[in-house]
Amino acid sequence: MKNSEIIYGAAHRFLKQYRSRVERQLGSYGLSIVEVRVLTAVYTSSESMVTQESLAAALSIDRSNIGRAAKKLEQKGFITRAADQEDARVSLVVLTDEGRALEPEVTAVSDQLLSSMAMKLTERELETLTLLLAKATSTLG
């Protein structure tokens, strides 16, 4: 097996497990992993209104996927979208009260999953993993 297949396989298995756990734990809300990532990015933003384009850049997800996730989150009542008053082509994402109320649970699920993974790694392994992922990512451009 080639190194590239080993790396891809390991990354794919990790992301598949992570996505499955997040979606299972937040299943009662019908949230996909992309929707969870969008909500998390909005929660951690210093701005009260976030552009879909800035979400796409921050999450490394293309704008069309962000748009679809935002539309679903809006349909579920967790966000509203509005055109920017200065540039109508720009779509702003704003949390609703329902979306804001969901923050503790979404944050707890994500934190718990990452903490449980980190607990199984030594400090040195965690540092090595972080460095290797950064190095691998930088080679992709």
Question: What is the band of 116 on the pLDDT scale with cuts at 50, 70, 90?
Answer: confident
The pLDDT assigned to 66 comes to: 96
pLDDT (mean) for 94-123: 91
Cα-to-chain-centroid distance, residue 111? 12
Cα 7 to Cα 13, 17, 110, 111, 136: the distances in Å are: 10, 16, 24, 25, 10
Instruction: Write out pLDDT tens, residues 60-93.
Output: 999 999 999 999 999 999 999 999 888 888 899 9
Residue 50, strand partner residues: 93
Cα 38 to Cα 24, 53, 74: the distances in Å are: 17, 12, 12
Contact, 110 vs 102, CB < 8 A? no
Is the pLDDT reported for residue 1 higher than 80? Answer: no
Instruction: Write out pLDDT tens, residues 88-106.
Output: 888 999 999 999 999 999 9
Give the three-class secondary structure for 80. Answer: strand
How far apart are alpha carbons 49 and 9 in whole angstroms? 37
- Residues 6 or more apart whose CB falls under 8 angstroms from that of 28 comprise none
The pLDDT assigned to 104 comes to: 96
Residue with token string 């951690």: 44
Average pLDDT of every residue of the chain: 90
Residue with token string 């701005």: 47
Question: In this structure, which amino acid lies at residue 36?
Answer: V
Question: What is the band of 44 on the pLDDT scale with cuts at 50, 70, 90?
Answer: very high
Which is more confidently placed, 117 or 71?
71
Q: What pTM did the predictor assign?
A: 0.83
CATH class of 3-139: mainly alpha
